[in-house]
Amino acid sequence: MPTPFLAGNWKMNKTIDEALAFVEAVKGPLEAIDAVDYGICAPFTALAPLHDAVAGTRIKLGAQNMYWEESGAFTGEISPLMLKGLCENVVIGHSERRQYFGETDETVNRKIKAALEHGLQPIVCVGENLEQNEAEQTEEVVSTQVRGAFADLREDQVRDIVIAYEPIWAIGTGKAATPEQANDVIGNVVRATVADMFGTDVAEQMVIQYGGSIKPANVEELMSQPEINGGLVGGASLDPESFVTLVQVTYEVKIQNAGMGG
Q: Which of 109, 193, 213, 245 binds ligand 13P (CB under 6 A)?
A: 213
Q: Which of 4, 43, 93, 211 binds ligand 13P (CB under 6 A)?
A: 211
Residue 39 in contact with ligand 13P, rule: CB under 6 A: no
Residue 62 in contact with ligand 13P, rule: CB under 6 A: no
CA distance from start to end of the chain: 16
Residue 232 in contact with ligand 13P, rule: CB under 6 A: yes
Residue 40 in contact with ligand 13P, rule: CB under 6 A: no
Instruction: Give yes or no: 31 in active site.
Output: no
Q: What Å distances lie between residue 107 and 12, 15, 66, 68, 79, CA to CA? A: 21, 28, 11, 8, 14
Q: Minimum Å distance from CB 212 to ligand 13P? A: 5
Give the footprint of ligand 13P on residues 86-105 (CB under 6 A): 94
Q: Which of 40, 182, 203, 214 binds ligand 13P (CB under 6 A)?
A: 214
User: Per residue, what are the HEC states of the chain?
Assistant: CCCCEEEEECCCCCCHHHHHHHHHHHHHHHCCCCCCEEEEECCHHHHHHHHHHCCCCCEEEEECCCCCCCCCCCCCCCCHHHHECCECEEEECCHHHHHHCCCCHHHHHHHHHHHHHCCCEEEEEECCCHHHHHCCCHHHHHHHHHHHHCCCCCHHHHCCCEEEECCHHHCCCCCCCCHHHHHHHHHHHHHHHHHHHHCHHHHHHCEEEEECCCCCCCHHHHHCCCCCCEEEECHHHCCHHHHHHHHHHHHHHHHHCCCCCC
One of 18, 94, 117, 227 is an active-site residue; which one? Answer: 94
Nearer to ligand 13P, 172 or 226 (CB): 172
Instruction: Give yes or no: 94 in active site.
Output: yes
Residue 64 in contact with ligand 13P, rule: CB under 6 A: no
Residue 234 in contact with ligand 13P, rule: CB under 6 A: yes
Residue 171 in contact with ligand 13P, rule: CB under 6 A: yes
6, 230 Cβ separation under 8 angstroms: yes
Q: Which of 83, 146, 233, 253 binds ligand 13P (CB under 6 A)?
A: 233
Residue 230 in contact with ligand 13P, rule: CB under 6 A: no
Residue 42 in contact with ligand 13P, rule: CB under 6 A: no
Residues in contact with ligand 13P, counted by CB under 6 A, come to a total of: 14
Report the residue closest to ligand 13P, judged by CB. Answer: 234
Q: Minimum Å distance from CB 60 to ligand 13P? A: 15
Catalytic residues: 94, 166
Q: Which residues bind ligand 13P (CB under 6 A)?
A: 9, 94, 166, 171-172, 211-214, 232-236
